[in-house]
């Protein structure tokens, strides 16, 4: 997405998952995280344990176990776990071309220390998390959604017109080519403010990918997410981000 001066963006997450099927995969991870850190530590010097060291890797498949950050407690950050590699950034650090470059550099280094990577069946995804602040004392979530977003949500199973919706948790899943586009709207908080959290996520087809194919997939899905955001916030809400 292009950089908007007042963007509601909270976080962007690129994630790759693969199946951990045997003990050898777990043994691989025992050296992968250290080898990867040695390659990235000049740019990501801050290393964190996400789970207690006594927790066996077998029970955290597909979950982050270590994080590497450029700045202490800051963004961007790289997450790695058994069957997981992810790169997160936030609005302050998000510029698409820079983010894509960071992803490609990380994938290149990961391939160097883990040659098996090219032969794995991968499941890529990219998620954009946006936050719209709302004063719930005067506006309920459905009124905000219907007035500002490109969809209409209503119910007719409760006939009492004085009833007001307090919370929402809506998910729309759509197939676009080989990808799944998932849009979720729910009540949430950010920086002690209340509002609606919108997650726009694209999940790719499970298959083998070269680094070049992942790069092309990212460019394609970035465009889909960007157009989806522009269309769903079109009008007064989108203009408020300029």
Cis peptide bond N-terminal to 158, omega within 30: no
What is the predicted pLDDT for the residue at 34? 93
Q: Say if pTM beats, i.e. exceeds, 0.85.
A: yes
Helix (H) or strand (E) holding 123: strand 122-133
Q: Which residue has the tokens 């009492």?
A: 160
Q: What are the start-end ranges of the E strands in 134-237?
A: 169-176, 179-190, 193-203
pLDDT the model gives residue 1 = 46
Burial of 174 (0-12, 13-18, 19+ CB in 10 A): exposed
Confidence grade of residue 180 (pLDDT, cut at 50, 70, 90): very high
What's the N-to-C CA distance of the chain in angstroms? Answer: 13
Q: In this prediction, what percent of the chain has a pLDDT beyond 90?
A: 83
3-class SS at 52?
coil
157 pLDDT above the threshold of 80: no
Most confident option among 50-54, 127-131, 161-165 = 127-131
Assess whether pLDDT exceeds 90 at residue 160: no
68-78 mean pLDDT: 96
DSSP lists the bridge partners of residue 81 as: 84
Contact yes or no for 208/121 (Cβ under 8 A): yes
pLDDT at 162: 58
User: What number is the average pLDDT over the span 225-234?
Assistant: 96
State the pLDDT at residue 163: 66
pLDDT at 64: 96
Percent of the chain at pLDDT > 70 equals 97
């Amino acid at each position: 997405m292009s950089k908007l001066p007042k963007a509601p963006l909270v976080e962007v997450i690129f994630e790759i998952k693969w199946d951990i099927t045997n003990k050898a995969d777990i043994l691989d991870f025992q050296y992968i995280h250290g080898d990867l850190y040695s390659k990235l530590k000049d740019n990501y010097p801050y290393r964190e344990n996400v789970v207690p060291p006594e927790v066996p890797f077998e029970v955290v498949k597909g979950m982050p176990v270590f994080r590497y950050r450029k700045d202490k407690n800051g963004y961007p950050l790289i997450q790695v776990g058994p069957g997981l590699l992810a790169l997160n950034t936030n609005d302050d650090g998000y510029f698409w071309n820079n983010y894509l470059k960071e992803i490609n550099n990380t994938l290149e280094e990961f391939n160097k220390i883990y040659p098996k990577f090219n032969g794995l069946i991968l499941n890529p995804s990219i998620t954009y998390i946006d936050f719209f602040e709302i004063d719930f004392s005067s506006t309920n979530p459905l009124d905000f959604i219907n007035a500002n977003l490109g969809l209409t949500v209503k119910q007719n199973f409760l006939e009492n017109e004085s009833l007001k919706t307090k919370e929402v948790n809506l998910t729309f899943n759509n197939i676009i080519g080989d990808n799944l586009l998932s849009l979720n709207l729910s009540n949430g908080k950010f920086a002690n403010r209340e509002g609606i959290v919108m997650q726009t996520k694209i999940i790719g087809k499970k298959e083998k990918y070269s680094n070049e194919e992942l790069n092309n997939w990212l460019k394609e899905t970035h465009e889909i997410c960007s157009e989806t955001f522009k269309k769903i916030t079109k009008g007064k809400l989108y203009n408020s981000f300029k």
